[in-house]
Chain A
Protein backbone atom coordinates (compact mmCIF):
# COMPACT_ATOMS: atom_id res chain seq x y z
CA UNK A 1 0.00 0.00 0.00
CA UNK A 2 2.79 2.36 0.97
CA UNK A 3 4.23 1.95 -2.48
CA UNK A 4 1.11 3.44 -3.98
CA UNK A 5 0.31 6.17 -1.50
CA UNK A 6 3.40 7.89 -0.28
CA UNK A 7 2.15 11.39 0.29
CA UNK A 8 5.66 12.61 0.93
CA UNK A 9 5.15 15.70 -1.22
CA UNK A 10 3.68 17.19 1.95
CA UNK A 11 7.18 17.13 3.43
CA UNK A 12 8.75 18.46 0.26
CA UNK A 13 8.64 22.24 0.47
CA UNK A 14 9.13 22.81 -3.26
CA UNK A 15 6.31 20.53 -4.36
CA UNK A 16 3.96 21.81 -1.68
CA UNK A 17 4.60 25.40 -2.80
CA UNK A 18 3.55 24.61 -6.35
CA UNK A 19 0.37 22.88 -5.18
CA UNK A 20 -0.53 25.97 -3.18
CA UNK A 21 0.31 28.31 -6.08
CA UNK A 22 -1.86 26.30 -8.48
CA UNK A 23 -4.88 26.25 -6.22
CA UNK A 24 -4.25 29.92 -5.39
CA UNK A 25 -4.49 30.81 -9.07
CA UNK A 26 -7.65 28.74 -9.51
CA UNK A 27 -9.32 30.33 -6.49
CA UNK A 28 -8.29 33.76 -7.75
CA UNK A 29 -9.74 33.07 -11.22
CA UNK A 30 -12.99 31.65 -9.84
CA UNK A 31 -13.46 34.59 -7.46
CA UNK A 32 -12.52 37.09 -10.17
CA UNK A 33 -15.06 35.76 -12.68
CA UNK A 34 -17.68 35.50 -9.96
CA UNK A 35 -17.19 39.12 -8.88
CA UNK A 36 -16.97 40.47 -12.44
CA UNK A 37 -20.10 38.52 -13.27
CA UNK A 38 -21.93 40.16 -10.34
CA UNK A 39 -20.66 43.67 -11.12
CA UNK A 40 -21.22 43.45 -14.85
CA UNK A 41 -24.09 41.03 -15.45
CA UNK A 42 -24.11 41.89 -19.15
CA UNK A 43 -20.57 40.56 -19.69
CA UNK A 44 -20.70 37.07 -21.16
CA UNK A 45 -18.44 35.02 -18.92
CA UNK A 46 -20.06 31.63 -19.33
CA UNK A 47 -17.23 30.28 -21.51
CA UNK A 48 -14.54 31.57 -19.16
CA UNK A 49 -16.43 30.12 -16.22
CA UNK A 50 -16.81 26.69 -17.78
CA UNK A 51 -13.14 26.82 -18.77
CA UNK A 52 -12.17 27.60 -15.20
CA UNK A 53 -14.34 24.79 -13.88
CA UNK A 54 -12.60 22.41 -16.25
CA UNK A 55 -9.23 23.77 -15.07
CA UNK A 56 -10.15 22.82 -11.51
CA UNK A 57 -10.86 19.27 -12.58
CA UNK A 58 -7.75 19.02 -14.74
CA UNK A 59 -5.44 20.56 -12.15
CA UNK A 60 -6.74 18.21 -9.48
CA UNK A 61 -6.30 15.22 -11.75
CA UNK A 62 -2.78 16.21 -12.79
CA UNK A 63 -1.71 16.89 -9.22
CA UNK A 64 -3.22 13.66 -7.98
CA UNK A 65 -1.60 11.69 -10.79
CA UNK A 66 1.77 13.35 -10.23
CA UNK A 67 1.96 13.47 -6.46
CA UNK A 68 0.08 10.51 -4.99
CA UNK A 69 2.41 7.92 -6.44
CA UNK A 70 4.91 7.67 -9.26
CA UNK A 71 3.39 4.35 -10.30
CA UNK A 72 0.06 6.06 -10.87
CA UNK A 73 1.83 8.79 -12.85
CA UNK A 74 3.10 6.26 -15.40
CA UNK A 75 -0.38 4.81 -15.84
CA UNK A 76 -2.02 8.23 -16.01
CA UNK A 77 0.36 9.56 -18.66
CA UNK A 78 -0.06 6.35 -20.68
CA UNK A 79 -3.84 6.80 -20.51
CA UNK A 80 -3.42 10.39 -21.64
CA UNK A 81 -1.44 9.22 -24.68
CA UNK A 82 -4.01 6.53 -25.38
CA UNK A 83 -6.92 8.97 -25.28
CA UNK A 84 -5.11 11.56 -27.38
CA UNK A 85 -4.12 8.93 -29.94
CA UNK A 86 -7.70 7.68 -30.20
CA UNK A 87 -9.10 11.16 -30.52
CA UNK A 88 -6.70 12.19 -33.27
CA UNK A 89 -6.86 9.05 -35.40
CA UNK A 90 -10.66 8.98 -35.15
CA UNK A 91 -11.01 12.33 -36.92
CA UNK A 92 -8.39 11.70 -39.59
CA UNK A 93 -10.42 9.19 -41.58
CA UNK A 94 -8.46 5.96 -41.86
CA UNK A 95 -9.43 3.12 -44.19
CA UNK A 96 -11.07 -0.03 -42.92
CA UNK A 97 -8.02 -1.98 -44.03
CA UNK A 98 -5.87 0.05 -41.64
CA UNK A 99 -7.49 -1.44 -38.58
CA UNK A 100 -4.84 -4.10 -37.94
CA UNK A 101 -2.00 -1.61 -38.16
CA UNK A 102 -3.87 0.79 -35.89
CA UNK A 103 -4.33 -2.03 -33.42
CA UNK A 104 -0.56 -2.53 -33.31
CA UNK A 105 -0.07 1.20 -32.88
CA UNK A 106 -2.28 0.92 -29.80
CA UNK A 107 -0.17 -1.99 -28.55
CA UNK A 108 2.93 0.18 -28.81
CA UNK A 109 1.55 2.57 -26.17
CA UNK A 110 1.93 0.31 -23.11
CA UNK A 111 5.28 -0.90 -24.46
CA UNK A 112 6.61 2.64 -24.84
CA UNK A 113 5.49 3.54 -21.33
CA UNK A 114 6.92 0.33 -19.92
CA UNK A 115 10.27 1.25 -21.44
CA UNK A 116 9.97 4.62 -19.72
CA UNK A 117 9.01 2.88 -16.47
CA UNK A 118 12.05 0.61 -16.40
CA UNK A 119 14.21 3.50 -17.55
CA UNK A 120 15.77 1.77 -20.56
CA UNK A 121 16.71 4.94 -22.37
CA UNK A 122 18.19 3.41 -25.52
CA UNK A 123 15.08 1.35 -26.26
CA UNK A 124 12.72 4.12 -25.19
CA UNK A 125 14.22 6.56 -27.64
CA UNK A 126 14.18 4.26 -30.69
CA UNK A 127 11.06 2.17 -30.15
CA UNK A 128 8.55 4.42 -31.95
CA UNK A 129 10.83 6.40 -34.29
CA UNK A 130 12.53 3.24 -35.56
CA UNK A 131 10.81 -0.01 -34.57
CA UNK A 132 7.23 1.10 -35.11
CA UNK A 133 8.26 3.29 -38.04
CA UNK A 134 9.53 0.19 -39.84
CA UNK A 135 6.90 -2.25 -38.60
CA UNK A 136 3.59 -0.42 -39.17
CA UNK A 137 4.03 0.02 -42.95
CA UNK A 138 4.78 -3.71 -43.15
CA UNK A 139 1.50 -4.48 -41.40
CA UNK A 140 -0.31 -2.21 -43.87
CA UNK A 141 1.41 -3.84 -46.82
CA UNK A 142 0.51 -7.35 -45.64
CA UNK A 143 -3.14 -6.33 -45.73
CA UNK A 144 -2.65 -5.65 -49.43
CA UNK A 145 -4.81 -2.59 -50.00
CA UNK A 146 -2.53 -0.06 -51.72
CA UNK A 147 -5.20 2.54 -52.43
CA UNK A 148 -4.26 5.47 -50.20
CA UNK A 149 -1.57 3.52 -48.36
CA UNK A 150 0.89 6.44 -48.36
CA UNK A 151 -1.53 8.59 -46.40
CA UNK A 152 -2.17 5.81 -43.90
CA UNK A 153 1.55 5.08 -43.43
CA UNK A 154 2.49 8.67 -42.88
CA UNK A 155 -0.40 9.89 -40.78
CA UNK A 156 -0.30 6.85 -38.50
CA UNK A 157 3.37 7.44 -37.76
CA UNK A 158 2.78 11.17 -37.26
CA UNK A 159 -0.02 10.51 -34.76
CA UNK A 160 2.18 8.06 -32.87
CA UNK A 161 5.08 10.49 -32.72
CA UNK A 162 2.90 13.34 -31.54
CA UNK A 163 0.62 11.65 -29.04
CA UNK A 164 2.73 8.72 -27.82
CA UNK A 165 6.43 9.29 -28.39
CA UNK A 166 6.37 12.98 -27.50
CA UNK A 167 4.10 12.69 -24.48
CA UNK A 168 5.84 9.60 -23.14
CA UNK A 169 8.80 11.84 -22.29
CA UNK A 170 6.66 13.03 -19.40
CA UNK A 171 6.82 9.52 -17.98
CA UNK A 172 10.55 9.28 -18.59
CA UNK A 173 11.11 12.42 -16.53
CA UNK A 174 10.06 10.29 -13.56
CA UNK A 175 12.65 7.64 -14.38
CA UNK A 176 15.60 10.03 -14.54
CA UNK A 177 18.32 9.19 -12.00
CA UNK A 178 18.44 11.15 -8.77
CA UNK A 179 20.77 14.12 -8.69
CA UNK A 180 22.58 15.08 -5.47
CA UNK A 181 20.99 18.13 -3.85
CA UNK A 182 17.90 18.10 -6.07
CA UNK A 183 14.98 16.97 -3.95
CA UNK A 184 11.85 17.45 -6.05
CA UNK A 185 13.20 15.05 -8.70
CA UNK A 186 11.22 13.86 -11.72
CA UNK A 187 7.94 14.92 -10.17
CA UNK A 188 9.23 18.45 -9.81
CA UNK A 189 10.32 18.51 -13.45
CA UNK A 190 6.99 17.09 -14.58
CA UNK A 191 5.04 19.69 -12.62
CA UNK A 192 7.28 22.46 -13.93
CA UNK A 193 6.70 21.33 -17.52
CA UNK A 194 2.93 20.89 -17.30
CA UNK A 195 2.34 24.01 -15.24
CA UNK A 196 4.48 26.23 -17.46
CA UNK A 197 2.97 24.85 -20.67
CA UNK A 198 -0.57 25.46 -19.49
CA UNK A 199 0.28 28.88 -18.03
CA UNK A 200 1.81 29.73 -21.39
CA UNK A 201 -1.46 28.82 -23.14
CA UNK A 202 -3.40 30.97 -20.71
CA UNK A 203 -0.92 33.88 -21.01
CA UNK A 204 -0.92 33.81 -24.82
CA UNK A 205 -4.72 33.76 -24.73
CA UNK A 206 -4.97 36.57 -22.16
CA UNK A 207 -2.42 38.92 -23.80
CA UNK A 208 -4.02 38.24 -27.17
CA UNK A 209 -7.46 39.17 -25.82
CA UNK A 210 -6.14 42.29 -24.07
CA UNK A 211 -3.80 43.77 -26.66
CA UNK A 212 -4.07 41.55 -29.74
CA UNK A 213 -4.02 43.46 -33.05
CA UNK A 214 -1.51 42.09 -35.53
CA UNK A 215 -2.35 38.59 -36.67
CA UNK A 216 0.56 36.18 -36.75
CA UNK A 217 -0.78 33.28 -38.88
CA UNK A 218 -4.20 34.53 -40.06
CA UNK A 219 -4.80 31.63 -42.42
CA UNK A 220 -4.33 29.02 -39.70
CA UNK A 221 -5.55 30.60 -36.51
CA UNK A 222 -7.13 34.06 -36.71
CA UNK A 223 -7.03 34.50 -32.94
CA UNK A 224 -3.24 34.29 -32.66
CA UNK A 225 -1.56 37.68 -32.58
CA UNK A 226 1.99 38.98 -32.23
CA UNK A 227 0.94 40.76 -29.05
CA UNK A 228 -0.34 37.52 -27.52
CA UNK A 229 2.74 35.62 -28.67
CA UNK A 230 5.29 38.09 -27.31
CA UNK A 231 3.31 38.81 -24.14
CA UNK A 232 2.96 35.08 -23.54
CA UNK A 233 6.66 34.40 -24.04
CA UNK A 234 7.71 37.19 -21.68
CA UNK A 235 5.27 36.23 -18.92
CA UNK A 236 5.99 32.52 -19.23
CA UNK A 237 9.73 33.09 -19.09
CA UNK A 238 9.36 35.22 -15.96
CA UNK A 239 7.01 32.74 -14.25
CA UNK A 240 9.35 29.91 -15.19
CA UNK A 241 12.25 31.77 -13.58
CA UNK A 242 10.40 31.89 -10.26
CA UNK A 243 9.54 28.19 -10.48
CA UNK A 244 13.17 27.28 -11.11
CA UNK A 245 13.34 25.64 -7.67
CA UNK A 246 11.52 22.66 -9.21
CA UNK A 247 14.46 21.98 -11.52
CA UNK A 248 18.15 21.23 -11.00
CA UNK A 249 19.07 24.10 -13.35
CA UNK A 250 20.90 27.38 -12.92
CA UNK A 251 19.05 30.70 -13.32
CA UNK A 252 20.16 31.26 -16.90
CA UNK A 253 19.31 27.72 -17.86
CA UNK A 254 15.83 28.05 -16.37
CA UNK A 255 15.25 31.25 -18.34
CA UNK A 256 16.34 29.56 -21.56
CA UNK A 257 14.17 26.49 -20.95
CA UNK A 258 11.11 28.54 -20.00
CA UNK A 259 11.56 30.57 -23.16
CA UNK A 260 11.80 27.37 -25.20
CA UNK A 261 8.63 26.00 -23.55
CA UNK A 262 6.77 29.18 -24.46
CA UNK A 263 7.88 29.08 -28.09
CA UNK A 264 7.34 25.35 -28.64
CA UNK A 265 3.97 25.50 -26.89
CA UNK A 266 2.89 28.11 -29.38
CA UNK A 267 4.12 25.96 -32.26
CA UNK A 268 2.22 22.91 -31.00
CA UNK A 269 -0.89 25.01 -30.76
CA UNK A 270 -0.80 26.30 -34.33
CA UNK A 271 0.22 22.92 -35.75
CA UNK A 272 -2.89 21.35 -34.24
CA UNK A 273 -4.96 24.34 -35.38
CA UNK A 274 -3.86 23.75 -38.95
CA UNK A 275 -4.86 20.10 -38.72
CA UNK A 276 -8.29 21.03 -37.41
CA UNK A 277 -8.65 23.57 -40.19
CA UNK A 278 -7.76 20.93 -42.76
CA UNK A 279 -10.41 18.48 -41.59
CA UNK A 280 -12.88 21.28 -40.98
CA UNK A 281 -13.61 20.98 -37.26
CA UNK A 282 -13.32 23.62 -34.55
CA UNK A 283 -12.57 21.24 -31.71
CA UNK A 284 -11.34 17.66 -31.72
CA UNK A 285 -14.22 16.49 -29.50
CA UNK A 286 -16.30 17.70 -26.59
CA UNK A 287 -14.55 15.80 -23.82
CA UNK A 288 -13.59 18.87 -21.73
CA UNK A 289 -16.30 21.55 -21.32
CA UNK A 290 -15.08 24.95 -22.54
CA UNK A 291 -11.86 23.54 -23.99
CA UNK A 292 -12.92 21.00 -26.61
CA UNK A 293 -11.21 17.65 -26.84
CA UNK A 294 -8.23 16.27 -24.94
CA UNK A 295 -5.99 17.25 -27.84
CA UNK A 296 -7.22 20.83 -27.85
CA UNK A 297 -5.82 21.08 -24.35
CA UNK A 298 -2.59 19.15 -24.76
CA UNK A 299 -1.65 20.21 -28.29
CA UNK A 300 1.04 22.48 -26.89
CA UNK A 301 2.14 19.84 -24.38
CA UNK A 302 2.83 17.42 -27.21
CA UNK A 303 5.45 19.89 -28.43
CA UNK A 304 6.85 21.23 -25.17
CA UNK A 305 7.38 17.80 -23.60
CA UNK A 306 10.11 16.43 -25.88
CA UNK A 307 11.75 19.85 -26.18
CA UNK A 308 11.86 20.29 -22.42
CA UNK A 309 12.99 16.73 -21.77
CA UNK A 310 15.90 16.77 -24.15
CA UNK A 311 17.10 20.21 -23.06
CA UNK A 312 17.06 19.18 -19.41
CA UNK A 313 18.58 15.80 -20.25
CA UNK A 314 21.41 17.47 -22.16
CA UNK A 315 22.10 20.17 -19.58
CA UNK A 316 21.65 18.42 -16.25
CA UNK A 317 21.95 14.65 -16.71
Chain B
Protein backbone atom coordinates (compact mmCIF):
# COMPACT_ATOMS: atom_id res chain seq x y z
CA UNK B 1 0.00 0.00 0.00
CA UNK B 2 2.71 2.47 0.99
CA UNK B 3 4.51 1.62 -2.22
CA UNK B 4 1.51 2.67 -4.29
CA UNK B 5 0.99 5.84 -2.24
CA UNK B 6 4.65 6.82 -2.73
CA UNK B 7 4.39 6.16 -6.45
CA UNK B 8 1.30 8.35 -6.82
CA UNK B 9 2.61 11.11 -4.58
CA UNK B 10 6.10 11.35 -6.06
CA UNK B 11 6.12 9.94 -9.58
CA UNK B 12 2.83 11.60 -10.48
CA UNK B 13 1.86 14.56 -8.34
CA UNK B 14 5.22 15.83 -7.07
CA UNK B 15 6.99 15.34 -10.37
CA UNK B 16 4.31 17.25 -12.27
CA UNK B 17 4.19 19.98 -9.64
CA UNK B 18 7.97 20.36 -9.48
CA UNK B 19 8.34 20.35 -13.25
CA UNK B 20 5.48 22.56 -14.34
CA UNK B 21 4.99 24.89 -11.39
CA UNK B 22 8.32 25.17 -9.59
CA UNK B 23 10.36 24.76 -12.78
CA UNK B 24 12.70 21.91 -11.81
CA UNK B 25 14.74 20.25 -14.53
CA UNK B 26 15.44 16.61 -13.67
CA UNK B 27 18.50 14.82 -14.93
CA UNK B 28 18.23 11.20 -16.04
CA UNK B 29 18.07 8.72 -13.18
CA UNK B 30 17.40 5.38 -14.92
CA UNK B 31 20.91 4.24 -14.05
CA UNK B 32 19.91 4.11 -10.38
CA UNK B 33 17.47 1.26 -11.08
CA UNK B 34 20.36 -0.97 -12.15
CA UNK B 35 22.35 -0.30 -8.97
CA UNK B 36 21.71 -2.82 -6.20
CA UNK B 37 22.10 -0.32 -3.42
CA UNK B 38 23.42 3.21 -3.05
CA UNK B 39 23.63 6.27 -0.85
CA UNK B 40 22.62 9.52 -2.55
CA UNK B 41 24.75 12.34 -1.16
CA UNK B 42 23.18 15.71 -1.92
CA UNK B 43 23.53 19.37 -1.04
CA UNK B 44 20.72 20.83 1.04
CA UNK B 45 19.02 24.20 0.75
CA UNK B 46 15.30 23.66 0.91
CA UNK B 47 12.47 21.37 1.94
CA UNK B 48 11.99 20.89 -1.79
CA UNK B 49 15.28 18.96 -1.96
CA UNK B 50 13.92 15.72 -0.52
CA UNK B 51 10.76 16.02 -2.61
CA UNK B 52 12.84 16.57 -5.76
CA UNK B 53 15.16 13.65 -5.10
CA UNK B 54 12.26 11.30 -4.39
CA UNK B 55 10.35 12.54 -7.44
CA UNK B 56 13.40 11.92 -9.60
CA UNK B 57 13.81 8.27 -8.65
CA UNK B 58 12.74 5.44 -10.95
CA UNK B 59 9.37 4.10 -9.77
CA UNK B 60 10.73 0.59 -9.47
CA UNK B 61 13.10 1.45 -6.59
CA UNK B 62 11.27 4.43 -5.06
CA UNK B 63 9.99 2.49 -2.03
CA UNK B 64 13.48 1.10 -1.35
CA UNK B 65 15.05 4.55 -0.85
CA UNK B 66 14.91 6.20 2.56
CA UNK B 67 15.76 9.87 3.07
CA UNK B 68 17.69 10.24 6.31
CA UNK B 69 16.23 13.05 8.43
CA UNK B 70 16.81 14.59 11.83
CA UNK B 71 14.56 13.13 14.51
CA UNK B 72 14.51 16.37 16.49
CA UNK B 73 12.80 18.10 13.56
CA UNK B 74 10.71 15.49 11.77
CA UNK B 75 10.04 13.28 14.77
CA UNK B 76 8.91 15.96 17.21
CA UNK B 77 5.54 14.34 17.85
CA UNK B 78 4.25 10.85 17.31
CA UNK B 79 2.01 12.11 14.51
CA UNK B 80 4.88 13.86 12.74
CA UNK B 81 6.99 10.72 12.99
CA UNK B 82 4.25 8.57 11.55
CA UNK B 83 3.55 10.99 8.71
CA UNK B 84 7.24 11.36 7.81
CA UNK B 85 7.80 7.65 7.92
CA UNK B 86 4.76 6.88 5.80
CA UNK B 87 4.66 9.66 3.22
CA UNK B 88 8.36 10.49 2.94
CA UNK B 89 9.63 7.03 3.86
CA UNK B 90 12.17 8.66 6.19
CA UNK B 91 14.80 7.10 8.37
CA UNK B 92 14.80 9.33 11.46
CA UNK B 93 18.09 9.67 13.30
CA UNK B 94 19.41 11.87 16.04
CA UNK B 95 22.12 14.31 15.09
CA UNK B 96 24.67 13.31 17.78
CA UNK B 97 26.43 9.97 17.97
CA UNK B 98 25.51 7.70 20.89
CA UNK B 99 28.04 4.91 21.32
CA UNK B 100 26.54 3.61 24.58
CA UNK B 101 23.16 2.91 22.99
CA UNK B 102 23.73 1.33 19.59
CA UNK B 103 19.96 1.41 19.08
CA UNK B 104 20.01 5.20 18.99
CA UNK B 105 23.33 5.69 17.25
CA UNK B 106 22.74 7.37 13.88
CA UNK B 107 25.58 5.54 12.09
CA UNK B 108 24.33 2.23 13.40
CA UNK B 109 20.78 2.99 12.31
CA UNK B 110 21.89 3.80 8.78
CA UNK B 111 23.97 0.63 8.54
CA UNK B 112 21.00 -1.40 9.73
CA UNK B 113 18.82 0.15 7.05
CA UNK B 114 21.43 -0.69 4.42
CA UNK B 115 21.58 -4.26 5.69
CA UNK B 116 17.81 -4.44 5.40
CA UNK B 117 18.23 -3.71 1.70
CA UNK B 118 17.34 -0.02 1.65
CA UNK B 119 19.20 2.74 -0.17
CA UNK B 120 19.63 6.09 1.56
CA UNK B 121 19.45 9.78 0.79
CA UNK B 122 21.82 11.84 2.91
CA UNK B 123 22.39 15.56 3.23
CA UNK B 124 25.85 15.79 4.79
CA UNK B 125 25.49 19.54 5.26
CA UNK B 126 23.08 18.59 8.02
CA UNK B 127 20.91 21.65 7.70
CA UNK B 128 19.53 23.78 4.90
CA UNK B 129 21.40 27.01 5.66
CA UNK B 130 21.56 30.10 3.44
CA UNK B 131 20.30 29.63 -0.12
CA UNK B 132 22.94 28.53 -2.61
CA UNK B 133 25.73 28.47 -0.02
CA UNK B 134 27.30 25.14 0.79
CA UNK B 135 28.17 24.45 4.40
CA UNK B 136 30.93 22.20 5.73
CA UNK B 137 30.07 18.54 5.28
CA UNK B 138 29.59 16.27 8.27
CA UNK B 139 31.52 12.99 8.15
CA UNK B 140 28.66 10.60 9.03
CA UNK B 141 28.36 9.31 5.48
CA UNK B 142 32.05 8.37 5.47
CA UNK B 143 31.63 6.28 8.63
CA UNK B 144 28.75 4.41 7.02
CA UNK B 145 30.64 3.85 3.77
CA UNK B 146 33.66 2.59 5.67
CA UNK B 147 31.52 -0.03 7.38
CA UNK B 148 29.88 -1.10 4.10
CA UNK B 149 32.56 -0.48 1.46
CA UNK B 150 30.70 -2.36 -1.28
CA UNK B 151 27.88 0.24 -1.26
CA UNK B 152 28.31 3.02 -3.82
CA UNK B 153 27.59 6.66 -3.15
CA UNK B 154 25.90 8.84 -5.79
CA UNK B 155 26.59 12.59 -5.64
CA UNK B 156 23.58 14.79 -6.46
CA UNK B 157 23.54 18.55 -6.80
CA UNK B 158 20.52 20.84 -6.75
CA UNK B 159 20.46 24.47 -7.83
CA UNK B 160 17.76 27.07 -7.33
CA UNK B 161 15.67 25.18 -4.76
CA UNK B 162 16.81 27.50 -2.00
CA UNK B 163 15.40 30.39 -4.01
CA UNK B 164 12.08 28.67 -4.67
CA UNK B 165 11.64 27.77 -1.00
CA UNK B 166 14.40 28.93 1.37
CA UNK B 167 14.79 28.05 5.01
CA UNK B 168 12.47 29.99 7.35
CA UNK B 169 9.90 30.59 4.64
CA UNK B 170 7.13 28.21 3.79
CA UNK B 171 5.90 30.12 0.75
CA UNK B 172 6.93 28.51 -2.52
CA UNK B 173 7.80 31.09 -5.16
CA UNK B 174 8.56 29.18 -8.38
CA UNK B 175 12.16 29.61 -9.51
CA UNK B 176 14.01 27.69 -12.23
CA UNK B 177 15.92 24.90 -10.52
CA UNK B 178 17.73 21.76 -11.48
CA UNK B 179 18.89 18.42 -10.16
CA UNK B 180 21.98 16.69 -11.58
CA UNK B 181 23.29 13.28 -10.65
CA UNK B 182 26.92 12.28 -10.69
CA UNK B 183 28.24 8.75 -11.15
CA UNK B 184 27.83 5.95 -8.59
CA UNK B 185 31.24 5.64 -6.96
CA UNK B 186 32.93 3.22 -4.59
CA UNK B 187 35.16 4.67 -1.90
CA UNK B 188 38.85 4.06 -2.49
CA UNK B 189 40.27 5.17 0.82
CA UNK B 190 40.12 4.06 4.43
CA UNK B 191 40.39 7.56 5.77
CA UNK B 192 37.32 9.58 6.77
CA UNK B 193 38.83 12.94 5.81
CA UNK B 194 39.88 11.66 2.38
CA UNK B 195 36.44 10.22 1.66
CA UNK B 196 34.78 13.49 2.63
CA UNK B 197 37.21 15.40 0.44
CA UNK B 198 36.36 13.14 -2.49
CA UNK B 199 32.62 13.66 -1.94
CA UNK B 200 32.99 17.40 -1.63
CA UNK B 201 34.98 17.45 -4.85
CA UNK B 202 32.30 15.41 -6.65
CA UNK B 203 29.65 17.87 -5.49
CA UNK B 204 31.73 20.81 -6.67
CA UNK B 205 32.16 19.24 -10.11
CA UNK B 206 28.37 18.91 -10.39
CA UNK B 207 27.92 22.45 -9.15
CA UNK B 208 30.04 23.82 -11.99
CA UNK B 209 28.35 21.68 -14.66
Contact = CB atoms under 8 A, between A and B. Distances in A.
A90 B173 contact: no
Interface string A76-97: 0001001100110111000010
Interface string B5-22: 000000000000000100
Contact of B169 (A90, A99, A102): A99
A106 B23 contact: no
B176 interface: yes
A91 B166 CA distance: 17
B64 interface: no
B3 interface: no
Contacts of A4: none
A99 B160 CA distance: 13
B126 interface: no
A298 B166 CA distance: 30
Contact of B176 (A82, A86, A99, A103): A86
A50 interface: no
Contact of B25 (A99, A102, A286): A286
A106 B174 contact: yes
5 contacts: A82-B174, A90-B160, A91-B176, A96-B166, A103-B171
A285 interface: yes
Interface in B153-191: 160, 163, 166, 169, 171, 173-176
Contacts of B131: 96
B177 to A, nearest CB: 8
A285 B160 CA distance: 13
A82 B183 CA distance: 34
A82 B23 CA distance: 10
B23 A83 contact: yes
B interface SS class: loop
Interface residues of B, number: 13
Interface in A38-96: 79, 82-83, 86-87, 89-91, 96
Given A96-B166, A286-B25, A90 B171 contact: no
Given A96-B131, A286-B25, A86 B174 contact: yes
Given A86-B176, A87-B176, A99 B171 contact: yes
Interface residues on A, range: 10 to 19
A287 B19 CA distance: 11
Nearest to B169: A99
Instruction: Name the residue in A87, A96, A99 with the highest tally of chain B Cβ atoms < 10 Å from its Cβ.
Output: A99
B137 to A, nearest CB: 24
Given A87-B176, A106-B174, 19 more contacts: A79-B20, A82-B174, A83-B23, A86-B23, A86-B174, A86-B176, A89-B175, A90-B160, A90-B163, A90-B176, A96-B131, A96-B166, A99-B166, A99-B169, A99-B171, A99-B173, A102-B173, A103-B173, A287-B25
Contacts of A106: 173-174
A87 B20 CA distance: 12
Contact of B175 (A82, A86, A287): A86
A285 B176 contact: yes
Contacts of A99: 166, 169, 171, 173
B132 to A, nearest CB: 10
Contacts of B176: 86-87, 90-91, 285
B123 to A, nearest CB: 21
Instruction: Name the residue in B20, B163, B173, B174 with the highest tally of chain A Cβ atoms < 10 Å from its Cβ.
Output: B173
A90 B175 contact: yes
Nearest to A102: B173
A82 B174 CA distance: 10
Contacts of B166: 96, 99
Instruction: Name the residue in A86, A100, A102 with the highest tally of chain B Cβ atoms < 10 Å from its Cβ.
Output: A86
A96 B168 CA distance: 12
A90 B25 contact: no
Contacts of A286: 25
